[in-house]
Amino acid sequence: MTLVPTPAVDWSEATSSLLAPLLTAHRLGLVTDVDGTISPIVNQPEAAQVTPRSRELLAALAQKLALVGVISGRAVDDVQARVGISTLVYVGNHGLERWANGRVEVAPEAQRYRPALEAVANSVRDHLLPGMKIEDKGATYSIHYRNAADPTRAEAELAPLLERLATQHAIRLFQGRMIFELRPPLEIDKGTAFAALVRDYQLDAALYLGDDTTDADALRACKRLRAAETCYAIGVGVVADETPAAVIESADVLAHGIAQVEAFLAWLNHQQQG
């Protein structure tokens, strides 16, 4: 199967070419990130809200597709409550958690790294600048610096310390948009989580939508699945002011902002009529 030429194009320019095979798939699935994709980025993570139009369209698509799911860096119980659509499948903490039968299921191999994660988080608390925040997400920790008086300084001062502590305690350090993330040293990310959903739901075609560095793992997974002819998977990169280069480089098509994500979801929903 031929890989998509780069650079990625606007999704509206690909409806009769790259996106067309999705519409004839026997089992099509759609998986989306939350923050920055169907929910605006806000200064306080707890204040983030999925747009009503996104929620409406995802609920409608869940009645038509083989799978509609969410993969988020948030804790899975948080994202399940925040999106609030019972017919969706929820994966949290970049693939380390799933919401199943009304409760959180953590990957067993992740649980033994909890003491190391706690040790790093506790070591860094005294070094936080005003406005920074540590978020305990169970299987991972996030350190937010968007609200620091000088985010550039906060990043520069904290990064070396976190790198040293992560190495010392044998855990992984990742960086996203104004955020550091501490995770277990496992080969689990949004890309492996997306591929697992493709496998578990026996999808022959799939879409992934995301806007941040961690979403690039899933966008790249789309290309691998397509190249292997395992699944005709298409990655939709969501572009905004702070979009990392990895998202644009990894995406097959682009949606410019949440309004265009909603337009894309509306188009897909319309194509599934009847």
Catalytic residues: 33
Distances (CA, A) of 74 to 77, 135, 139, 172, 265: 8, 10, 10, 17, 22
| φ/ψ bin of 142: left (φ > 0), alpha (ψ from -120 to 50), beta (otherwise) | beta
Half-sphere exposure of 165 (CA within 13 A, CB side): 22
Question: What is the widest separation between alpha-carbon atoms in the chain?
Answer: 59
Distance CA 259, CA 250 (A): 21
**Cα 247 from Cα 115, distance rounded (Å):** 32
Of 149, 126, 148, 125, nearest to 135 by C-alpha is 125
* Pairing mode of beta strands 89-92, 67-71: parallel
- Is it true that the peptide bond before 52 is cis, omega within 30 degrees of 0? no
Whether the CB-CB separation of 55 and 85 falls below 8 Å is answered with yes
User: Tokens for 201?
Assistant: 């739901």
Cα separation, 236 vs 253, whole angstroms: 5
Contact 132, 143 (CB under 8 A): yes
Paired residues of 103 in beta bridges: 100
